[in-house]
Amino acid sequence: MNYYILADRFLLEGGEKIGGYLKIENGKFGDFANTIPEGSDVQDWSGYTIAPGLFDTHIHGVNGHDIMDGTVEAVHSISASILDQGVTRFLPTTLTSSSSDIEQAIKAITVATEQGLPGAQSEGIFLEGPYFTEKHKGAQNPDYFKKPNLDEFNAWQKLAKDSIVKIALAPERGHTMSFIKDVTATGVQVSIAHTDASYDCCMEAVSNGANNYVHLFNGMSGLHHREPGVVGAALTDQSVFAELICDGHHVHPDIATLAYEIKKEKLILITDCMRAGLMPDGDYQLGDFKVFMKDGIAKTVFGSLAGSTLQLINGVKNLQQWSGKPLYEIWHKGSLSPAHSLGISNKIGSISKGKVADYVVLNEFVDIQATAVEGDIKFKK
């Protein structure tokens, strides 16, 4: 499918391009042009802005479905449901559970992906757990916490047909450093999460290959001036990425802005959304825990935040409003930074010649009007 996009504004990595035509050729971005050959196929989005598709690297579920349902239907539903949020790529994310439940989720993701996803496309599986510690467990079930086990992970990776691209763990657990080194040597990214690790422990984990901190400020030891903790390690190390949930509940707006000012291009906007996303207030399930959502905030019976119900487009809007930074700058924290963190920014994440033509159409209020995956418009308002 070859055509041109005509629009008022394009959000690029280094700024905005005003006006012109953008060529879409065989599902990839081509060159910009001021004039085009007569008779060319044109998608006329005059009056609108074109931005790269968003990439949610941490999402458990939405619209009544969850990855831990362990069904192909759930994976397909999540893929379709996040299109109108501007998300074109995602990492189906598991959580701590029994080995059999994790294996069933892996099977479902693998089969669903092989069948072909109807909306946003998977860039691989993210295992959030089960190698965590209890103090900052959040909504992860401590009954299944354990030490990292390379044989177990390799069995999961075989089941996934090598599609596991990221795993989160607590680095203070036994055998963790050798596990990090072995896993990252195969190309899998390791994230630090649900942990009470010291600053030095985190730095050792990074030296062994860890490159990301999951939902910064949540599920981790806080910042102290004599023991910087996990938060201190995440903020002071410019070599690593950090996820941020910008719903205004998980992190105060001013602290979210501070994190952005410090991390810059290493900040990744995520949702950590669970099945209650896009659903009305009420009772839901997250793994083995009952969750109650009120006013869009999901919590366990223990009072812990249980993931979020955030839409990624709203996370972008929130941080842009809180920080006052240009939209193109904040937008790429939800598209290009996630791609960078996984080493696939040469393929996706920004409007650049040769990259996959994942894009969204925005109105003046930054509302999604259309979403295209590989140049094919999958959602139109």
Please tell me the predicted confidence (pLDDT) of residue 301: 80
Average pLDDT over residues 80-97: 97
H or E segment to which residue 81 belongs: helix 72-81
Helix (H) or strand (E) holding 103, with range, is: helix 99-115
User: According to the model, what pLDDT value does residue 104 have?
Assistant: 98
pLDDT at 302 > cutoff 90: no
CATH of segment(s) 54-341: 3.20.20.140
Farthest CA pair distance, the chain: 68
Average pLDDT of the segment spanning 229-234: 98
For 189-217, how does the pLDDT look when each residue is reduced to its tens digit (9 = 90+)? 999 999 999 999 999 999 999 999 999 99
Residue ranges of the chain assigned to CATH 3.20.20.140: 54-341
Q: Is the pLDDT of residue 304 over 90?
A: no
The C-alpha atoms of residue 291 and residue 379 are separated, in whole angstroms, by: 30
Summarize pLDDT for 318-376 with one digit per residue, the tens: 999 999 999 999 999 999 999 999 999 999 999 999 999 999 999 999 999 999 999 99
Query: In whole numbers, what is the pLDDT of the chain averaged over residues?
Result: 96
Judged by DSSP in three states, 1 sits in coil
* Per-residue confidence band for 139, with pLDDT thresholds at 50, 70 and 90: confident
Q: CATH 2.30.40.10: which residues of the chain? A: 3-51+351-380
DSSP reduced 3-state for 4: strand
By the 8 A CB rule, do 59 and 286 touch? no
Residues marked active site are found at 272
Confidence of residue 112 (pLDDT cuts 50, 70, 90): very high
Per-residue pLDDT, averaged over 298-307, amounts to 84
Range from 109-113, 150-154, 279-283 carrying the lowest mean pLDDT: 279-283
DSSP for 253-298, please give it.
Answer: HHHHHHHHHHHGGGEEEE--B-TTTTS-SEEEEETTEEEEEETTEE
Q: What's the CA gap between 204 and 178, in Å, rounded? A: 11
Give the whole-number percent of the chain exceeding pLDDT 90. 92
Tokens 């177990």 correspond to 152
Long-range contacts of 250-258, Cβ-Cβ distance < 8 Å, separation of 24 or more: 250/215, 250/217, 250/218, 250/305, 250/308, 251/216, 251/217, 251/218, 253/318, 253/322, 254/322, 255/217, 256/318, 256/319, 256/322, 256/323, 257/319, 257/322, 257/323
CATH annotation of 3-51+351-380: 2.30.40.10
* 8 A C-beta contact, residue 282 and residue 293: yes
| pLDDT at 197 (0 to 100) | 97
Query: Which residues touch 357 (CB under 8 Å, ≥6 apart)?
Result: 24, 27, 28, 29, 372, 374, 375
DSSP string for residues in 299-316: EETTS-B-SB---HHHHH
Predicted TM-score (pTM) of this structure: 0.97
